[in-house]
Structure 1
Amino acid sequence: MTKRTGRRRILYLAASFFSIIVFLFLVGSAGYVLLSHPKSPLPDHWNPLRDLSVTAPVTPVTSYQLTRALADEALCRGTLSDAGVTFDAMEDLTIDPNCGIVGRGLLSGLTIARVDPVETSCTTTLRLAMWEHHVVQPAARDAFGSGVAKLRHIGSYNCRRMRTAQGENSRWSSHARADSIDIIGVELTDGRNLTLLEDWQGTGSKALFLRHIWRGACDWFRVVLSPDFNHLHADHFHLQGPGWGYCR
């Protein structure tokens, strides 16, 4: 191969590489314009540039939209309001570096189910609303032909350290920042009540329903603990937002 031929080949490869870069840039730009246009033909729940809707169908884009809403308090509150969730704004609570609530509010109603009023964070409420709408309500309709009228809980915020089977841990609980909520059961719209303490064990419809919604909670919370975890959780689900990912 002569020097001239070698230079020609290098120039050809460089030109080809530049052409590919330009092509990808144009395709990306066209895609962005298509996605960001107010009249984009792509449904919002498939569009990563659109905000999360709690009641929209779940798609591969939902996780990204949820992450963005969790990181922006104003967006989080707006998303809850659009879904009809009753989450009355309260001033942030600051006790010390370990205890307090950022994005604080009083939760009393989800998309359908009501809850006894509880102080918690916007992020915990948003995760709970996604679980209620996409897991709990459909599972109840499938299992019992009835929706869930009420989610029963035993609180969210609690300025305390972690509790383990061996006693109190030196680490602070996620409850100390209202990053979790404990659910003890549900009340169906037909009046029936299900509790983890009484209905978790067995193979009947109530136990199967509770295990189904436990597994489904793992799609919306990073740490989910059930009665199978230890005796401290015999009567409730521990649903926690932050964490490395644990479902037991």
Structure 2
Amino acid sequence: MSKRSGRRRFLLSAASFVFSIAVVAILLGGGGWWLLAHPETPVPPHWNPLRELKVNAPVTPVTRFQLNRALANEGQCRAVLAEAGVNFEAMEDLVVDENCGIAGRGRLSALVASKVEAVETSCTTTLRLTMWEHHVVQPAAQSLLGTQVSRLRHVGSYNCRQMRTAQGKSSGWSSHATADSIDIVGVQLADGRSLTLLSDWGTEGPEALFLREIWQGACDWFRVVLGPDFNRLHADHFHLQGPGWGYCR
């Protein structure tokens, strides 16, 4: 991603955040709280910060506020996924040590419109992945490839290990050690085509455009996104990570 594109994304994200805060402040002031909380409020749910996140609702500046609230509450996170039809089977939390484990653990096998090979991950990673699949991956497949994504291909989420860098192993712990990230290697399309980052990222044509669009779109739903242009360790996958300061490369 170019510096100009990265700066533009940052400014848009910052403007969206400021706007969300302003909307909440204005609406909650005076009679705003009553207006929003009333069962028959005229404010659409996707514009109402007091309403729960719905995956299939249009994205507005309030969506980020609703998403963050769901990410912070496991019960709400699971409820949002269930309402969207995501197959995320609840499991007991995994506690290994201070560095490894999975909070909000579950077995994911299907998103809104695409399947995935069953994988143990966290509710927060699943929710971010769900928003990406519904609002980025499927629309891009329809507009650029004229079909739907039937399966997202991955190489795992949880892995109790330290970070790997181009220079070798780091002393820091990977976000995979807490299932706060997942690695996507490609997609299976409903028309039978199979796309992989290793084979299709550097080509020309709609397949490569699709992969680049969903990579860039992932930056709207994950805080750290690394792809083939980052380094050789990511030549074959997108690293999609929830926690972080915001890095898209």
Shift in Å, 1:29: 3.2
Partner Cα distance (1:100, 1:106) in 2? 14
Partner Cα distance (1:61, 1:116) in 2? 32
The equivalences for 1:64-143 within 5 A come to 64-143=65-144
Aligned equivalent of 1:160: 161
Q: TM-score scaled by structure 1? A: 0.89
Aligned equivalent of 2:55: 54
Q: TM-score scaled by structure 2? A: 0.89
Shift in Å, 1:203: 2.7
Cα distance change on mapping 1:25 and 1:132 into 2, 3 Å: closer
RMSD: 1.4
The equivalences for 1:171-186 within 5 A come to 171-186=172-187
Aligned equivalent of 2:17: none
Cα distance change on mapping 1:43 and 1:166 into 2, 3 Å: same
Could you list the runs of 5+ residues in structure 1 that have no partner in the other structure? Answer: 1-23
- Structure 2: which amino acid aligns with 1:90? M
Cα distance change on mapping 1:146 and 1:98 into 2, 3 Å: same
Secondary structure at 2:153 match in 1: strand
Cα distance change on mapping 1:26 and 1:225 into 2, 3 Å: closer
Partner Cα distance (2:32, 2:131) in 1? 29
Partner Cα distance (1:50, 1:191) in 2? 39
- Structure 1: which amino acid aligns with 2:187? V
Aligned residues with identical type, % of pairs: 70
- Structure 2: which amino acid aligns with 1:170? S
Partner Cα distance (1:83, 1:25) in 2? 30
Matched positions, count: 225
Judge which range, 220-229 or 202-211, deviates more: 202-211
Secondary structure at 2:187 match in 1: strand
- String of CA shifts for 1:70-114, please: whole Å, max 9, x gaps: 000000000000000000000000000000000000000000000
Shift in Å, 1:26: 11
Cα distance change on mapping 1:25 and 1:204 into 2, 3 Å: closer
- Structure 2: which amino acid aligns with 1:66? L
Secondary structure at 2:182 match in 1: strand
The structure having more radius of gyration, on CA atoms, is 1
Give every structure 1 segment of 4 or more consecutive aligned residues whose post-TM-superposition deviation is greater than 6 Å.
24-27
Secondary structure at 2:121 match in 1: strand
